Structure 1
Amino acid sequence: FREKKHLLPWLTQFGSVQFSRSVVSYSLRPHELQHARPCELCKVWSLMNSASNLCLSSSENSAVTFFLIYKIPPYEGKKPDTLGPNTRLYKWIPQNDLLGHPKTKAFITHGGSNGIYEAIYHGVPMVGLPLFADQPHNVVHMTAKGAAIRLDLERMSTEDLLNALKEVISNPFYKENVMRLSAIQHDQPMKPLDRAIFWIEFVMRHRGAKHLRPAAHDLTWFQYHSLDVIGFLLACVATAVFVITKCCLFCCRKCASIGKKGKRD
């Protein structure tokens, strides 16, 4: 989902990685994710504990089934009395495995690159609550692609979160777009894991593959930043300006001297 970049032939973007298939079916009790209710929703959270009250309050009035899962840090608080029977709290569940589960309908994320790539890989539409760093940019980019809805964590209300979830789940627009991105990510000439193994063995076979080492590593710091070239160009410009200035002054003085001689005559 990244913007276009010019990379060296031996470099690859993070989007080329391969995620494992879901194994969450074997890590949860059978009745927790295997029932066939059509409106299930898995919410994977990796926000701070300060967001716990917001998450729980949003679940009280929710009309869809979902799970609140705290990953970083794990939720270890007391189970609230108002927690509905359709909400479950876990200390930790593998995010990638849960996103790969066929019953996962939406993904609430802070917009981290790894989580977004996992959601794209498994074709899960998103609701983004960005916090800092690259997260706002990632969520905006996914919103522009039509695979996510962005909310402001500090200004959103319970209704905003619920409406966003309903929109992502019920509107096929988001699912179709994220599946299109997923198809692009999967459509590769060889599996990313096989490609990684090939290049590791390639480097081992050729004793470090020094022929692929960029020449920039052999340059000094001022050569790497082209300071010598910039200095030379600045010197040329300064010399040209100096010469032109001297020529102009010489011409002005010459004209002034000719004018004075004319007046005397």
Structure 2
Amino acid sequence: MSVKWLSLLLLLQLNCYFSSGSCGKVLVWPVEYSHWINVKTILDELVTRGHEVTVLTSQASVLIDPSKPSAIKFEIFPTLLTKDDFENTIKHMLDNWTYMVKDSFWTYFSTVQSIFGEFFDMQMKVCKDVVSNKKFMTKLHESRFDVVLADAIGPCGELLAEVLQIPLVYSLRFSPGFSLEKYGGKLPLPPSYVPVIMSELGDQMTFMERVKNMMYVLYFDFWFQTFNEKKWNQFYSEVLGRPTTLLETVGKADMWLIRTFWDFEFPRPLLPNFEFVGGLHCKPAKPLPKEMEEFVQSSGEDGIVVFTLGSIVTNITEERANVIASALAQIPQKVLWRYHGKKPDTLGPNTRLYKWIPQNDLLGHPKTKAFITHGGTNGIYEAIYHGIPMVGIPLFADQPDNIAHMMAKGAAVRLDFNKMSTTDLLNALKQVINNPSYKQNAMRLSTIQHDQPMKPLDRAVFWIEFVMRHKGAKHLRPAAHDLTWYQYHSLDVTGFLLACVATAVFVITKCCLFCCQKFPKAGKKNKRE
């Protein structure tokens, strides 16, 4: 670490010491790619406020670079995985997900399950390398951290929090079928009006859509396995030295920071230890590089279109690239396209290719008319923040669902990456740019995003600091965690009440039968007399 960064870190620590005295030590268990980009925004703010932030990262990390000057500390642990192993596994997973045929429900979700299985198997190897390293774990114990901040989609953070006996705060966008939120966090999700994640449904469902949603609920509850529960439960039990499960350990989280907000979400029940912090990374646009600004200004009244498929996908097949380039060449707007592959043969003079673009700054530029996006949460929130309508080309994970949300809000049009033609993309762009309702709806969402009593980043940091100050937040944790599944659904109470009713009916029936047998006999006696 350079002298400059050491001085800055010392200054922040002294500031904390002489001011509130409430600065703490935060241990971070991150996930790579866009997840890291999001959580790093929180970490930078924590450091600015004087907290000591330590990020656990393996030697196989792709995006997290501890060698770069930073006020954030990095603890690097050895792992059997290499960087090439990690990159190749991720590339294989995403290629399978992006280019697979989505015509069959069973085939699609079977493939998705195997992809998640591959990711979680890799995650388990890394986790084992951490917790089995006694010297490394002793060092973490001696550091006396105040809280663990973990990405819930990458298991191990909750295990570290349990081993170190410190509070846990989660950062999460989603888990397949809401499995972690529902069974780990006990979040109520009524299927009658809350669409299951990955179902691509809205909250205004017809009868048949509610049937479809219920089928998704049953599928994710009883068939789809996000992770191999038996393996993870056994692993956690061995480490903790007592019988436990992954979901039980997940359920001990003090706070869940969900990376969306009501401008994106459909109204649904929340628990007090769940907090929306969507858009925490968004900020006002900065000036563009000179050459890029000149190209943008050359668009005149027509404006520009920004096109990127996110931080992971940097290349696509030549055939798809030519289909896209051909459509872009036919619009009057100038296009800035983040693209790494071979230059498409059909690329028009109005389109420029960049290996990297300042996405937030471009979306905040007054000449931006539309955003062609894969539907990642970070990109969608930047578009919402700046009020830019979207053409969604979802590829994998939560992206189809994200675009479905934006379509329901009237701020996006969706296309199928593998099936769309040049005409499809051209028509979608014309629709989003020329139909004023898309811009109006995007601006409405932007207004909601900006109209909050506290900024999302401040809210996220507040709750992390709150958990540190109070050594947890168990008073926000619902009693549902202490109930069995049949108690949670009141099946025991229902059974008891049914038994009471049945008993009452039985007793009344017996009494009636007894009376009927007695009174006829009395009547016959009177007649004889």
Map of 2:445 onto structure 1: 181
8 Å contact 1:125–1:168 — kept in the other structure?
yes
Counterpart position of 1:234 = 495
- Which ranges in structure 1 are unaligned for 5 or more consecutive residues? none
**Per-residue deviation, residues 238-257 of structure 1 (Å, max 9, x unmatched):** 24314523653564477479
Q: Are 1:171 and 2:435 an aligned pair? A: yes
User: For residue 58 of structure 1, what is the aligned residue in structure 2?
Assistant: 327
TM-superposed CA distance for 1:25, in Å, is 1.0
Q: Which runs of 5+ in 2 are unaligned?
A: 1-262
Q: C-alpha separation between the residues in 2 aligned to 1:248 and 1:124?
A: 70
Larger deviation: 105-114 or 225-234? 225-234
Distance 2:446 2:436 in 1: 15
Q: Choose between structure 1 and 2 for higher RCO, CA contacts under 8 A separated by at least 6 residues.
A: 1
Match of 1:220 in 2: 482
Q: Which of the residues 39, 43, 49 maps onto 2:316?
A: 49
Among candidates 456, 465, 470, match of residue 192 of structure 1: 456
Specify which of 371, 378, 381 is matched with residue 117 of structure 1: 381
Which protein is bigger by CA-based radius of gyration? 1
For 2:429 and 2:479, locate their aligned partners in 1 and report how far apart those are by CA, in whole Å.
48
- Offset at 1:145? 2.7
Residue 7 (structure 2) aligns with: none
Query: In structure 2, what is the equivalent of residue 159 of structure 1?
Result: 423
Amino acid at match of 1:37: G
**Pair 1:149–1:30, CA change in 2 (3 A):** closer
Alignment partners' CA distance in 2, 1:109 and 1:228? 41
**Distance in 2 (alpha carbons) for counterparts of 1:62 and 1:115:** 23
Alpha-carbon spacing, 1:93–1:216, altered in 2? closer, same or farther (3 Å): farther
**C-alpha distance 225-99 of structure 1, shift in aligned 2 (>3 A):** farther
| Shift, 1:126, TM fit | 0.9
Superposed CA deviations along residues 21-51 of structure 1, whole A, max 9, x for unmatched, are 3347139655443535332222223467244
How do 1:9-20 and structure 2 match up within 5 A?
A: 9=272, 11-15=274-278, 17-20=280-283
Mapped partners of 2:490, 2:474: distance in 1: 26
**CA distance change for structure 1 residues 29 and 138 in 2, over 3 Å: closer, same or farther?**
closer
2:338 corresponds to which of 44, 62, 69: 69
Scaled by the length of structure 1, the TM-score of the pair is 0.75
Give the RMSD, CA atoms, in angstroms: 3.6
Mapped contact 2:279–2:378 kept (Cα < 8 A): no
**CA distance in 2: counterparts of 1:181 and 1:90, whole angstroms:** 29
**Given the alignment, which residue of 96, 116, 119 partners 2:360?**
96
Look up the match of 1:148: 412
Give every structure 1 segment of 4 or more consecutive aligned residues whose post-TM-superposition deviation is greater than 6 Å. Answer: 256-262
Change (3 A) 1:216 1:30: same
Q: Answer yes or no: is the 8 Å Cα contact 2:278–2:456 preserved in 1.
A: no
Could you tell me how far apart the structure 2 residues matched to 1:16 and 1:89 are? 27
Q: How far did residue 83 of structure 1 move?
A: 2.2
CA distance in 2, matches of 1:178, 1:80: 31
Q: Is 1:245 matched with 2:514?
A: no
2:372 match: secondary structure: strand
Cross-structure match for 2:351: 87
Quote the Cα distance in structure 2 between the aligned partners of 1:86 and 1:36. Answer: 9
